[in-house]
C-alpha cells in the first residue's frame, strides 16, 4: 500500500478495516498488544506521511461479541489521508457509529465536521471572581430549597447556580462577543475612534502605501480561484476529472448558476468564475473550440480581442476554424468584415493561421509567464481600488535601512503619535513640544521644521540647512523632500542625494526617540548629546547601507567589453531604441578579425521594449542567415531577453510566438547568445538611433 500511494501525484484518502491497532490504548480485553502487532500500519503512516483522521463517537470499532468476561474490543477501522487532502479539507473528521448488526462499526466521513452545531457546556470564568456581586449570585442560588435524594439536591443546586450565573453574566457584562466585534470595528474604523490607520490600508501592497499584509478573505478567494483556474484550463488532476464528470463541467457553462445540490467547494469555485474570465484570455490553437464571442482571446503576438471587438449587429457562437480559408494559411475576408469591427478585422488578417499552436491555452493576463499566480491574482482582485504611489515605491526601493524605511512610512502615513494627531481622534489639547518646551508644539509640522532643536541640528550639519524656504506642511512632503532633496532645494548636488536622505532619516528617527524618552521617562537631552548620537548612528547606517547590484544576470553568459570575436565565429551585436512610440533596431556584424561584414538599421512596430529587443535579435539572425554564417555569437544588452533565451522561457506570453521563432532561428544557425553591457554595445545602439532619425529599411552603408 505504501508503494501505491507513493505513485499518487494528487491528494488521497483511504478508509475501512485496516485490521491492526497502533497501541494498547486501542484495545481492551484479550492478549496485550505486542510490538510487532501494529508495525505494518505504523510503518505505512511513517513512510507515506499519512494522517490518521480523528473524529467523534465510539473509540472501538470492532468487537468479538462475547460476554463481559471474554469481551474484546479494538479500533480496527479508521480513516487515513494525505496531508494534501487534509489541507484541502481542514474541517474534515469522522463519526464512529455504534456497533449494530455486525461486529464492525460504521464510519461516516464528514468534510465539514467542525461546522456541526454544538452547544457549549457551562464553564465558570475566573474573571467573575473580580466582581463582588458574583459571590452574592452564587449564595442566593445555592440557598434555593430542593427535596429528594442528596444526589438530586446537589445536581439541582448546581444546575440552578449555573443558570443564575449565566443570567447574571448576560445582565452585568452583556453580549461580550458583540462588544468585542464593535470594538474591533472601532479599532479599524479609518482613524475615527481608536486607530490611526484603517486595517484595509495597511493590507495594501507597499507600493500603494501599505505594508504588504494580505487580508485572509481576499487570499482565500484567490486560493479558491486557483481551483477554478485549474478547472477552466483543462488541468488533468484527478479532482478536476471528478468535478467535470459529476457536474458535466464546461467552461462555457460557467455563465449559469452552479448545479443544484453542489458541494460547498463547487459553489465557492463558481463564485470566482467572473473574476477568472475578466483577468484571463485564451491563446487560440489551430483547432480551437473557444467561443470567440464570449471570452478574450489572442491569435498572434500583441493582439488581444474580445466581445468589444465584434460587430454589435452580429451575434451567436463563433469558433476560429470557421474563419479559416480553404487555402489553409489565410482567412475568409468576408467573414472577418462581417463579424468584427474594421480595426479588429485588419489585425486578424495580418496573422498567419499556420503560426498558431496546436491547442488552446488559458493564460493569466497580468502575469508575464501567463500562468496563474497567487500574487498576481491578489493584485488583480484589488486593482480597482489601488493606484500605485511613486513616493512609496521609491521609499521601499531605496538603499536605506529597513528600520528607517518603516519610520519614513509612518511619517508619510501620518501615524506618529503627536498630540495634534491625538487631538483629531479624542479631542484632547495639543501639549508642549518635548524637545524645546514650546506650548502647543507637539505637532508634526513643528517637529519637522519649526522646532528650535531640529533647526539647530540641521544648521550645524554638513548641509547648513535652513527651513525658511522649504514647505513641509504634511508627512508626504517631508518624506518626498528626504528622498528627493533636489526637488525642493536649489542647486543641490545630485551625488549627495543618498547621503542626505540617509542623514535626514537618521536625524528624525533619533529626534523621535528623544521626544519619546522625554515624554515617558522625563529625560532631558542636551543638543550636544543629540548631535553626538545622531552622528554615531549615521556613521553606522552609512557603512551598512545596501550595495548596488552588479547588473549582471545570474546564469547568463557575459561578454564584458567590446573585443574581437572568438576564433572561427562571427559576432552580431544587436540593440533596440524607441522614441515617441516609434521603434528601430540596429545590427552590427563582424568577422573573427574584427572587420565589419554588415550594418543594418530598420524601423519596426513593437508591443513593449522587450518585444523590440527580441525583434532586434531576430533581425540579426536573419542577416546572419543571408551571410550563410554557420557559427556565430549573438550579443544583446537586454538582460531579460538573454536570461529568457538561456532558460528557453518566453519573457511574456504576449510575444510567445515571436520568441519561439527566435529559438528556432538560433537552433538552425548554431548561434550562442551573450549578454553585453550597454557601454560595450554602443555601435548597435547608434545604428538603432539612426534608424529612428532616418528612413532605414535594412542594410546600410557609411
pLDDT in tens, 651-667: 999 998 889 889 999 98
Arithmetic mean of pLDDT, 69-95: 87
CATH class of 570-701: alpha beta
Confidence of residue 387 (pLDDT cuts 50, 70, 90): low
**What is the per-residue pLDDT across 118-166, written as a single tens digit (0 to 9) for each?**
566 777 888 788 788 888 899 999 998 888 888 888 999 999 999 998 8
Whole-Å CA distances, 695 to 432, 599, 603, 605? 70, 15, 8, 14
Q: Torsions phi, psi of 428, nearest 5?
A: -75, 165
Distance of alpha carbon 701 from alpha carbon 577, whole angstroms: 20
Distance of alpha carbon 147 from alpha carbon 679, whole angstroms: 102
| pLDDT score of 492 | 72
Strands 280-283 and 297-298 come out as parallel
DSSP per-residue string spanning 417-481: --HHHHHHHH-PPP---TTT--TT--SHHIIIII-HHHHHHHHTSTT----TT----SHHHHHHH
Confidence of residue 188 (pLDDT cuts 50, 70, 90): very low
In terms of Cα–Cα distance, which of 483, 485, 516 is closest to 408? 483
* Residue at grid coordinates 524618552: 517
Distance of alpha carbon 232 from alpha carbon 361, whole angstroms: 10
DSSP state of 383: G
**What is the per-residue pLDDT across 413-422, written as a single tens digit (0 to 9) for each?**
998 989 888 8
Confidence of residue 189 (pLDDT cuts 50, 70, 90): very low
In terms of Cα–Cα distance, which of 604, 610, 609, 605 is closest to 649? 610
Mean pLDDT of the chain: 84
Q: Torsions phi, psi of 132, nearest 5?
A: -65, -25
Arithmetic mean of pLDDT, 265-279: 88
CB-count burial class (<10 Å; 0-12, 13-18, 19+) for 143: exposed
| pLDDT score of 192 | 45
* Residue at grid coordinates 572561427: 568
Q: Are 587 and 629 in contact (CB under 8 A)?
A: no
Q: Are 2 and 48 in contact (CB under 8 A)?
A: yes
Q: Torsions phi, psi of 110, nearest 5?
A: -120, 115
Classify 620 as helix, strand or coil.
helix
**What is the per-residue pLDDT across 528-562, written as a single tens digit (0 to 9) for each?**
999 999 999 999 988 887 444 444 444 456 554 45
668's enclosing H/E stretch is: helix 656-669
Whole-Å CA distances, 342 to 147, 324, 347, 406? 95, 18, 9, 52
Distance of alpha carbon 44 from alpha carbon 24, whole angstroms: 18
Given a cut of 90, whether residue 514 has pLDDT beyond it is: yes
Given a cut of 50, whether residue 510 has pLDDT beyond it is: yes
Q: Other CB atoms closer than 10 Å to residue 579's CB: what's the count?
A: 10
Given a cut of 60, whether residue 115 has pLDDT beyond it is: no
| pLDDT score of 636 | 93
Q: Are 231 and 249 in contact (CB under 8 A)?
A: yes
| pLDDT score of 578 | 92
| pLDDT score of 462 | 86
Distance of alpha carbon 201 from alpha carbon 208, whole angstroms: 9
Given a cut of 70, whether residue 176 has pLDDT beyond it is: no
96's enclosing H/E stretch is: strand 93-96
Q: Which residue ranges does the chain devote to CATH 3.60.10.10?
A: 1-110
Superfamily of domain 1-110: Endonuclease/exonuclease/phosphatase (3.60.10.10)
Asked which of 10-14, 100-104, 127-131, 542-546 is least confident by mean pLDDT, the reply is 542-546
DSSP per-residue string spanning 312-376: TT--S---GGGGB-TTSSSB-HHHHHHHB-HHHHHHHHTS-GGGSBSS-EEEETTSTT-S--HHH
Which residue(s) pair with 52 in the sheet? Answer: 80
| pLDDT score of 190 | 43
690's enclosing H/E stretch is: helix 682-693
Q: Are 633 and 565 in contact (CB under 8 A)?
A: yes
| pLDDT score of 11 | 87
In terms of Cα–Cα distance, which of 135, 131, 140, 215 is closest to 173? 131
Q: Are 531 and 457 in contact (CB under 8 A)?
A: yes
Q: Are 490 and 471 in contact (CB under 8 A)?
A: no
**Widest Cα–Cα separation across the chain:** 119
Given a cut of 80, whether residue 77 has pLDDT beyond it is: yes
Strands of the sheet with 697-699, listed across from one edge: 671-675, 632-636, 570-579, 582-590, 596-604, 697-699
Distance of alpha carbon 624 from alpha carbon 669, whole angstroms: 8
Confidence of residue 600 (pLDDT cuts 50, 70, 90): very high
Given a cut of 50, whether residue 449 has pLDDT beyond it is: yes
* Residue at grid coordinates 548554431: 670
Share of the chain above pLDDT 70, in %: 89
Q: How far does the chain reach from its first CA to its final CA, in angstroms?
A: 76
Lookup: cell for 454: 531640529
Asked which of 1-15, 158-172, 295-309 is least confident by mean pLDDT, the reply is 1-15
Amino acid at each position: 500500500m505504501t508503494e501505491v500511494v507513493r505513485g499518487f501525484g494528487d491528494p488521497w484518502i483511504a478508509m475501512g478495516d485496516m485490521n491492526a491497532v497502533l497501541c494498547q490504548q486501542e484495545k481492551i480485553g484479550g492478549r496485550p498488544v505486542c510490538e510487532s502487532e501494529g508495525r505494518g500500519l505504523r510503518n505505512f503512516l511513517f513512510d507515506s506521511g499519512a494522517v490518521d483522521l480523528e473524529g467523534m463517537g465510539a473509540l472501538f470499532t470492532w468487537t468479538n461479541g462475547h460476554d463481559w468476561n471474554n469481551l474484546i474490543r479494538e479500533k480496527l477501522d479508521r480513516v487515513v489521508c494525505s496531508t494534501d487532502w487534509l489541507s484541502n479539507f481542514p474541517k474534515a473528521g469522522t463519526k464512529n457509529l455504534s456497533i449494530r448488526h455486525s461486529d464492525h462499526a460504521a464510519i461516516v466521513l464528514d468534510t465539514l465536521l467542525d461546522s456541526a452545531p454544538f452547544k457549549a457546556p457551562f464553564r465558570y470564568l475566573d474573571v467573575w471572581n473580580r466582581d463582588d456581586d458574583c459571590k452574592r449570585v452564587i449564595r442566593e442560588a445555592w440557598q434555593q430549597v430542593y427535596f429528594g435524594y442528596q444526589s438530586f439536591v446537589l445536581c439541582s443546586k448546581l444546575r440552578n447556580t449555573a443558570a443564575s450565573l449565566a443570567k447574571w453574566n448576560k445582565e452585568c457584562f452583556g453580549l461580550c462577543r458583540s462588544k468585542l466585534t464593535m470594538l474591533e470595528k472601532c479599532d479599524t474604523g479609518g482613524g475615527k475612534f481608536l486607530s490611526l490607520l484603517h486595517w484595509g490600508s495597511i493590507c495594501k501592497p507597499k507600493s500603494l502605501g501599505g505594508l504588504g499584509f494580505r487580508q485572509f478573505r481576499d487570499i482565500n478567494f484567490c486560493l479558491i480561484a486557483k481551483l477554478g483556474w485549474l478547472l477552466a484550463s483543462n488541468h488533468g488532476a484527478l479532482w478536476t476529472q471528478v468535478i467535470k464528470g459529476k457536474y458535466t463541467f464546461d467552461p462555457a457553462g460557467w455563465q449559469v448558476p452552479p448545479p443544484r445540490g453542489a458541494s460547498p467547494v463547487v459553489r465557492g469555485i463558481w463564485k470566482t468564475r467572473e473574476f477568472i474570465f475578466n483577468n484571463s484570455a485564451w491563446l487560440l490553437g489551430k483547432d480551437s473550440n473557444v467561443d470567440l464571442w464570449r471570452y478574450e482571446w489572442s491569435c498572434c503576438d500583441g493582439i488581444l480581442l474580445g466581445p468589444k471587438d465584434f460587430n454589435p449587429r452580429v451575434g451567436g457562437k463563433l469558433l476560429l476554424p470557421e474563419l479559416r480559408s480553404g487555402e489553409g494559411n489565410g482567412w475568409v475576408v468576408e467573414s472577418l468584415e462581417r463579424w468584427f469591427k474594421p480595426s479588429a478585422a485588419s489585425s486578424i488578417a495580418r496573422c498567419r493561421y499556420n503560426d498558431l499552436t496546436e491547442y488552446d491555452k488559458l493564460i493569466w493576463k497580468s502575469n508575464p509567464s501567463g500562468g496563474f499566480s497567487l500574487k498576481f491574482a491578489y493584485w488583480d482582485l484589488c486593482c480597482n481600488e489601488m493606484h500605485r504611489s511613486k513616493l512609496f515605491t521609491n521609499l521601499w526601493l531605496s538603499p536605506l535601512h529597513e528600520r528607517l524605511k518603516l519610520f519614513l512610512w509612518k511619517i508619510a502615513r501620518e501615524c506618529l503619535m503627536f498630540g495634534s494627531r491625538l487631538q483629531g481622534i479624542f479631542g484632547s489639547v495639543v501639549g508642549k513640544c518635548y524637545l524645546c518646551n514650546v506650548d502647543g508644539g507637539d505637532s508634526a509640522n513643528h517637529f519637522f521644521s519649526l522646532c528650535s532643536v531640529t533647526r539647530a541640528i540641521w544648521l550645524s550639519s554638513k548641509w547648513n540647512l535652513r527651513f525658511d524656504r522649504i514647505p513641509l506642511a504634511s508627512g508626504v512632503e517631508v518624506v518626498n523632500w528626504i528622498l528627493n532633496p533636489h526637488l525642493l532645494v536649489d542647486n543641490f548636488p545630485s551625488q549627495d542625494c543618498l547621503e542626505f536622505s540617509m542623514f535626514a532619516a537618521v536625524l528624525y528617527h533619533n529626534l523621535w526617540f528623544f521626544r519619546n524618552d522625554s515624554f515617558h521617562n522625563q529625560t532631558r537631552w542636551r543638543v550636544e548629546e543629540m548631535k553626538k548620537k545622531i552622528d554615531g548612528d549615521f556613521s553606522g547606517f552609512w557603512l551598512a547601507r545596501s550595495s548596488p547590484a552588479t547588473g549582471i544576470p545570474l546564469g547568463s553568459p557575459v561578454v564584458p567589453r567590446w573585443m574581437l570575436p572568438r576564433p572561427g565565429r562571427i559576432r552580431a551585436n544587436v540593440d533596440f531604441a524607441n522614441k515617441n512610440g516609434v521603434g528601430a533596431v540596429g545590427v552590427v556584424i563582424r568577422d573573427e578579425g574584427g572587420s565589419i561584414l554588415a550594418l543594418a538599421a530598420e524601423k519596426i512596430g513593437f508591443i513593449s521594449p522587450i518585444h523590440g529587443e527580441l525583434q532586434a535579435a531576430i533581425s540579426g539572425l536573419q542577416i546572419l542567415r543571408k551571410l550563410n554564417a554557420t557559427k556565430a555569437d549573438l550579443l544583446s544588452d537586454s538582460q531579460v531577453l538573454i536570461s529568457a533565451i538561456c532558460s528557453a522561457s518566453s519573457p511574456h506570453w504576449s510575444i510567445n510566438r515571436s520568441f519561439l521563432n527566435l529559438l528556432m532561428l538560433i537552433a538552425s544557425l548554431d548561434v550562442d547568445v551573450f549578454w553585453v553591457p550597454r557601454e560595450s554595445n554602443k555601435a548597435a545602439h547608434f545604428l538603432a538611433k539612426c534608424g529612428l532619425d532616418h528612413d532605414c529599411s535594412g542594410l546600410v552603408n557609411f
